[in-house]
Structure 1
Amino acid sequence: MQKTSYQKELVIKNTHEKNGANNSKKETEKIQSLLNLFSLVHPGSGTATAIDGDFGPATQKAVQNFQKAQNIPQTGIVDQNLFGIMALPIQKAFENPVQGGNLRELIVNTAKNHLQNNPFELVIRQQGNSGPWVRSYMDGKEGTDWLWCMGFVQTIIDQAASLQGKNFKTLMPLTYSCDTIGIKGIEKNLLTRYQTARNNPSLIKTGDIFLLQKSSLDWKHTGIVINVHEDTIETIEGNTNSSGSSNGNAVAGKIRNFRTSKIDFFSVGPLV
């Protein structure tokens, strides 16, 4: 894999506890982030706490509540073993075995595996588009300006291609820009425009990348095609929400009508 920043999200250097001498602000924020991510999936767990880098009594209690949810001793202390349990969804998304008879199936199943592990962004230091999932998709970058839908897409393509010993960069450059991929698709004759797709839906393939047009040479959102129907596509996409926003807060499965939306399609065919 080319995109390996997720590995940094799986470890801490020191054991952390309330007012601990070895606590660090950065690693405490990582702990607090994972506690909040757990709370988003388990809202009754009592693990939501401020992401402020201060391991005080509130963070200690949130850790104890996490330990309670895991049926392990409620020490309020986070060592690497406990941190690994907290970070397990990220590890599963990137390292769980994925099966598929060809690259397109691997892309679809890789995207589904990420979706099953509930990737969410967080707000840290008043900046959206932040947190361990975003950093994993965006090669360590985060913050309000770092829209991460293309980072998610390229992570999925990279992960799937690497299972076949292929380098996704032979198909497209590493980028966080929908426009860059759209233009590259035009240059390499890999982009099916929405007008053509509407007239010939058989050109839309699972595992391909959809690009939602803002204008003819400007694209505002992207995701992976999971299934194709007569009028609609099923997708998995990052940085979105239930309404299909291009700046939402999660990875989500969506249904999009390609006959009423200006959706272009970038083919992964050359990698297959």
Structure 2
Amino acid sequence: MIKKQYLKEIAIASTQQRHGNSNTTKDVNKIQSWLNLYAITHPSAGTATGIDGDFGPATETAVENFQIAKNLPQTGVVDNNVFAKLCEPMVNAFTTPVQGNGLRELIVNTALQHLSNAPFELVIKGQSNSGPWVRAYMDNNEGTPWFWCMGFVQTIIDQAASQLGKDFRTLMPLTYSCDTVGTTGINKGLLTRYAQVRTNPGIVKPGDIFLLQKTPNDWVHTGLITGVHGELFETVEGNTNTDGSSNGNGVYKRVRNFQSSKLDVFSIQPLV
């Protein structure tokens, strides 16, 4: 893969614990982040805690609660084994081999694999669009200005293409910008405008990218098309929510009506 930031998100330098001599702010932040991500999908586990880089009594208790939930020895200490359990969702999303017949199916199945591991953002020090998943998709960038929908799309395509020995950058530049990909699509003749999509939806295939158009040269959100049914796209999208926001909190499977929304489509066919 080209985008390898995830490797840094699934590792700590040394054991972290309350009053630990080897504690580092960076690693404690990771631990606290993963504790909070676990709390999002297991709200009764008691693992939600502040993300401040300080391994204090609250973090220790949150770790103990996580260990209880995972049937681990209740030590309050995070060694490599405990941390591996904390970041297991990301390990599963990025390293489990994906099955698929060709690139398009691999893209769809990779997106679904990430979705099944519940990627969510966190708010850290008042900044949304933060946390391990955002950094993994955005090559270590995070914070409120860093909308991560394109980072998610390109990560999924990169992961799928790398299984076939392909470099996604032959299709588009590495970017976090919907506008850059939209402009690339125009210049390469790969972008189908929403009016044509509405007239001839058969040209859209699973694995293609939708770009939500604000104006003809301004796109505000993106995602991967996983299916086309009637006047609907099934999608997997990052940085959205149940309302379809372009600045939401996680990865969601959605249904979008392309007859009522301005959804331009970028074809991945040259990479196939």
Asked if Structure 1 and Structure 2 have the same fold, meaning a TM-score greater than 0.5 normalized by the shorter chain, the answer is yes
Q: Which one is further off, 17-26 or 212-221?
A: 17-26
Report the counterpart of residue 194 of structure 1 in structure 2: 194
How much does 1:56 deviate?
0.6
Report the counterpart of residue 158 of structure 2 in structure 1: 158
Q: Which one is further off, 93-102 or 14-23?
A: 14-23
How much does 1:21 deviate?
1.5
Report the counterpart of residue 180 of structure 2 in structure 1: 180
**SS of the residue 1:234 aligns to:** strand
Letter in 1 for 2:97: P
Report the counterpart of residue 239 of structure 2 in structure 1: 239
Letter in 1 for 2:209: I
Q: CA RMSD in A?
A: 0.5
How much does 1:218 deviate?
0.2
CA distance in 1, matches of 2:101, 2:31: 38
Report the counterpart of residue 120 of structure 1 in structure 2: 120
- Aligned residues, how many? 272
**SS of the residue 1:256 aligns to:** strand
CA distance in 2, matches of 1:132, 1:264: 30
Report the counterpart of residue 131 of structure 2 in structure 1: 131
Letter in 1 for 2:107: I
**SS of the residue 1:114 aligns to:** helix
CA distance in 1, matches of 2:151, 2:240: 13
Report the counterpart of residue 170 of structure 2 in structure 1: 170
1:227 is the counterpart of 2:227: yes
Counterparts of residues 1-272 of structure 1 (less than 5 Å): 1-272=1-272
How much does 1:191 deviate?
0.3
CA distance in 2, matches of 1:27, 1:162: 29
**Structure 1: 5+ residue runs without aligned partners?**
none
Letter in 2 for 1:241: N
Letter in 2 for 1:125: K
How much does 1:180 deviate?
0.3
CA distance in 2, matches of 1:104, 1:85: 31
CA distance in 2, matches of 1:213, 1:49: 39
How much does 1:206 deviate?
0.5
What is the TM-score when the length of structure 1 is the normalising length? 0.99
Letter in 1 for 2:178: C
How much does 1:97 deviate?
1.0
CA distance in 2, matches of 1:13, 1:25: 11
CA distance in 2, matches of 1:57, 1:188: 56
**SS of the residue 1:225 aligns to:** strand
**SS of the residue 1:99 aligns to:** coil
CA distance in 2, matches of 1:167, 1:28: 34
How much does 1:72 deviate?
1.0
Letter in 1 for 2:24: S
Q: Which one is further off, 121-130 or 17-26?
A: 17-26
**SS of the residue 1:93 aligns to:** helix
How much does 1:19 deviate?
1.7
Q: Deviations over 1:89-116 (max 9, x none)?
A: 0011001110011100000000000000
CA distance in 1, matches of 2:211, 2:122: 25
**SS of the residue 1:123 aligns to:** strand
CA distance in 2, matches of 1:116, 1:181: 26
Q: Deviations over 1:186-242 (max 9, x none)?
A: 000000100000000101110000000011100000000010011110000000000
Q: Deviations over 1:94-140 (max 9, x none)?
A: 01110011100000000000000000000111111000000000001
CA distance in 1, matches of 2:182, 2:39: 37
How much does 1:184 deviate?
0.3
Letter in 2 for 1:49: T
Runs (4+) off by over 3 Å: none
CA distance in 1, matches of 2:4, 2:21: 30
**SS of the residue 1:187 aligns to:** helix
Q: Deviations over 1:57-92 (max 9, x none)?
A: 100000000000000110000011110110010011
CA distance in 2, matches of 1:15, 1:72: 16
**SS of the residue 1:221 aligns to:** strand
